[in-house]
Amino acid sequence: MSLTQAHKIAFQLYDLGWRLALPWLHHNNRLAEGYDQRTLQKGLPPADIWIQAASVGESLLAVELVHALVLRRQATVLVTSGTRQGVDILTHNFSDPPGIKKIRVGYFPFDRPCLMQAAVGTIRPAVMVLLETEIWPGLLQALKKFGSRVLIVNGRMTQKSLKRYLLWPSVWQSLKPDKILAVSPADGKRFGRLFGRQRVAIMPNMKFDRLAAPAAGESASAALQTLLPPRIPFVVLASVRREEEALVANMIRQVLNRHPRTVIGLFPRHMHRVDSWQQRLHQAQIPCCLRSTLSGPADAGTVVVWDTIGELSAAYRLAAAAFVGGSLAPLGGQNFLEALAGGIIPVTGPWWDNFAWVGTQIIDSGLLKVAADWRQAADRILENLSSPVQRERVTEQLRQFINAHRGGTATACGLIANFLENNRRAG
């Protein structure tokens, strides 16, 4: 059997799998949203540029990308997402303003090869832009047949994903994009193994362009200041997830054993965990109260369980030390940049994959402390209590760090515009 025949059989089987799955997907709560458009019963409009953003994070990047895109001639831009939340973000941020960019939003079709052939034949994109890791074989095959230029921007690929793709490397070689802009040398190397190194370049991560400079927020912090006793250290334990609660409770005991007069602000990631935290702290005989019950300063040595929302940023600006949760268990971590913006160097556990895009340079620069386990996390907090840093210096370091990593959006926009113009000339 020739390689071409093997690829043909593989796509026939892939198409069959989608055909069998589609009736069941109609009953999936998440995929039922936009089902008519996902199956092309409701068509997608023609577009010169088609941008695919998987979900919320990628949709936010797509908004930045489209707004920054500078084109020489009139063009229609179609932006699709695979989730309702992603489509909502796109719809909310695009209003089809007058000018050379006409913007359309829709759901990303299911990747059944025959559906994708029909979708590409209707949309007829000159340029296809895939954000981060949106690599779909049905889509890539249809784009190749139509002659669209294919670009991956802000490209990320884990080692686990690469191993899965390399189960049949010849298929992906036949579908390789025209250009891949990866966000790190490690990601670029993995893309290079799959598609060829000559097609890969490195770009700054577009997410840095979305980061705002640290803000002051004195009024919100001043309101919280009345809830803290003067000259008593305040420690924030932020975005704590259910799976790590026992470990964080151990951290609380260790911190209070060494600094018994510390006030600890405990911010559960989900409000429904507040009652469980109260029970856990009562059983451990650790003094605690709810944030909503405070009308004056909390007692020294108390854990304040935050049962109100919207005050974490202000709390960071008052804290002497902070731990950011979702990181003592393999949950991906939560946003430690918010703590930095508040002028404090945060501590996180070993699992912070969701923010690996920031890069290990942030650790090397001293703006993040990563602990191997709860004991080390508690030690890092105690170190920060013993050697507080100047907030102005931390926020200025963060500003410099962000500025040094900006520019990804402009890089991607320049390449998209060049691809579109070259494709028009070729046509």
pTM score > 0.75 for this model? yes
Owning domain of residue 160: 3-206+407-426
Confidence label for 57 from pLDDT (cuts 50, 70 and 90) = confident
Same domain membership, residue 226 and residue 195: no
C-alpha to C-alpha distances, 320 to 15, 77, 289, 316, nearest whole angstrom:
57, 47, 20, 8
End-to-end CA distance of the chain: 36
The count of structural domains within the chain is 2
Separation CA 150–CA 413 (nearest Å): 14
> Percentage of the chain surpassing pLDDT 90?
78
- What is the structure's pLDDT at 109? 97
Q: What is the pLDDT of residues 142-156, one digit of tens each?
A: 999 999 999 999 999
The 75-81 sheet, strands edge to edge: 101-107, 75-81, 49-53, 127-131, 149-155, 179-182, 200-202
Same domain membership, residue 244 and residue 175: no
Q: Are the C-beta atoms of 50 and 107 separated by less than 8 Å?
A: no
Same domain membership, residue 238 and residue 188: no
Same domain membership, residue 194 and residue 228: no
What pairs with residue 289 in β-bridges?
Answer: 304
- What is the structure's pLDDT at 422? 83
Alpha-helix residue ranges (DSSP H) falling in 77-157 = 84-93, 113-123, 137-146
Same domain membership, residue 315 and residue 184: no
Confidence label for 387 from pLDDT (cuts 50, 70 and 90) = confident
CATH number, domain of 28, equals 3.40.50.11720
Same domain membership, residue 326 and residue 227: yes
Same domain membership, residue 192 and residue 48: yes
Same domain membership, residue 230 and residue 169: no
Same domain membership, residue 240 and residue 387: yes
Q: What is the pLDDT of residues 238-287, one digit of tens each?
A: 999 999 999 999 999 999 999 999 999 999 999 999 999 999 999 999 99
Confidence label for 218 from pLDDT (cuts 50, 70 and 90) = low
Same domain membership, residue 223 and residue 177: no
Q: What is the pLDDT of residues 63-112, one digit of tens each?
A: 999 999 999 889 999 999 999 999 999 999 987 666 678 999 999 999 99
- What is the structure's pLDDT at 168? 86
C-alpha to C-alpha distances, 157 to 83, 165, 225, nearest whole angstrom:
21, 10, 44
Same domain membership, residue 150 and residue 222: no
